Amino acid sequence: MKLYGGVEAGGAKFNCVVATAPRDRPVAELRVPTTTPAETLPRVIEFFREYDLRALGVASFGPVDLRRESPTYGYITDTPKKGWQHTDFAGLFERTFAVPTGFDTDVNGSALAETLYGAAEGLSSVVYLTVGTGIGGGAVIDGRPVHGLIHPEMGHLPVPHHPRDAYRGCCIFHGDCLEGLASGPAIEGRWNRSPNSLPPDHEAWELEAYYLSRAICAVTYTISPERVVCGGGVMRQKQLFPLIRQKVSEMLHNYIRSELIMHHIEEFIVEPGLEDHSGVVGALELARRAEAGLRH
């Protein structure tokens, strides 16, 4: 039986799956730590060689080159991740397996998965934010993941630095952008403790909710999504959700005249419906779309 292959390429590990359909239970799975391309990629290829693939999808950490006409289409480009700059990804898989290969950012993949099979099923404009080691955001508009000059980089949105927050921010490009102030490493840098060791009523979460709410307001004003799905390791702190909903409500200040935001904000800012699987389901969906001839 021919199968779809999906690769969720993250900064810490690669999740590889083969399945009969994006939402079906995987036939097989493999997790490989993201060390160097020379070490990680051959293990991924070896795994997929065991199966008769009909198409492959790669949802990758970025930045990546998504422009079909570009000579470096399918590459990871200027990533701060050591050893992975200018790595051919989609092309390598396409040449190795000679099957249609879809390629997008991990967060666009997750946004697509949540729109089709998860917490935003049936909606046409959706944002997926992941808050963990880094912060990233993907968007689907009218059922298609957003590409453009490159692709959305919501993790680096400028956000107003809270006047009582003395932490300078840890983004190597911008210092105190959203990722610099609200990623897992930022929380750890500010409080000198791992985020998981902070109690749920610690003031860290109030501040975290403040920064994430600023970003969600910016995204709401620019993209006008019907739902914002928030995932990633930091968002496992469930106490963040009510804090963020309340702050977003206050910050938007009744300007966005939407029933959803004014009366049902709990349906606007939600947890992922696919839990930790948005990424791999997204990768499988990219495979399905590549096979169907959809350019993205």
What residue ranges bind Zn ion (CB under 5 A)?
A: 156, 171, 173-174, 177, 179
- Give min distance, CB of 267 to Zn ion, in A: 30
What lies within 8 Å, CB to CB, of 79 at 6+ separation is: 61, 62, 63, 85
Residue closer to Zn ion by CB (options 171, 229) is 171
Residue closer to Zn ion by CB (options 104, 179) is 179
Instruction: Provide the 3-class DSSP secondary structure of residue 159.
Output: coil
- Give min distance, CB of 153 to Zn ion, in A: 8
- Give min distance, CB of 152 to Zn ion, in A: 13
- Output phi, psi for 27, to 5 deg: -75, -35
Residue closer to Zn ion by CB (options 179, 285) is 179
- Give min distance, CB of 187 to Zn ion, in A: 15
Residue closer to Zn ion by CB (options 77, 239) is 77
49, 140, 93, 118: which is closest to 290 by C-alpha?
A: 93
What lies within 8 Å, CB to CB, of 25 at 6+ separation is: 19
- Give min distance, CB of 174 to Zn ion, in A: 4
Question: Which contacts of 243-251 are long-range, i.e. CB under 8 A and separated by 24 or more positions?
Answer: 243/205, 243/206, 243/209, 244/209, 244/212, 244/213, 244/216, 244/269, 245/269, 247/209, 247/210, 247/213, 248/213, 248/216, 248/217, 248/220, 251/213, 251/214, 251/217
DSSP state of 128: E
Cβ count near 34 (within 10 Å): 17
Residue closer to Zn ion by CB (options 51, 167) is 167
Residue closer to Zn ion by CB (options 116, 129) is 129
- Give min distance, CB of 177 to Zn ion, in A: 3
